[in-house]
Amino acid sequence: MEIKVLGSGCPNCKRLLANVEAAVKELGIKADIRYVTDFMDIVNAGIMHTPGLIVDDQIVSTGRVINVEDIKRLLK
């Protein structure tokens, strides 16, 4: 599983990254988690509002910080 958190490095983006890491750890799954901060990579991924969350090349969230429980539901 590949998970990308896309953002500028703002506190909300970092909070989403931490929530993703916690969800993956709690579920005990293997995932390649990448934090993408390059503006062009974010735009090319189709994210217009950060933070963005992409799971296996599918955009699952933009413009908000999802909590750990919601991320776990997305990843199951």
State the catalytic residues.
10, 13
CA distance 64 to 71: 12
Q: Shortest CA distance to 7 belongs to which of 57, 65, 74?
A: 65
User: Would residue 16 be called left, alpha or beta, if left means φ above 0 and alpha means ψ between -120 and 50 degrees?
Assistant: alpha
**DSSP assignment letter at 23:** H
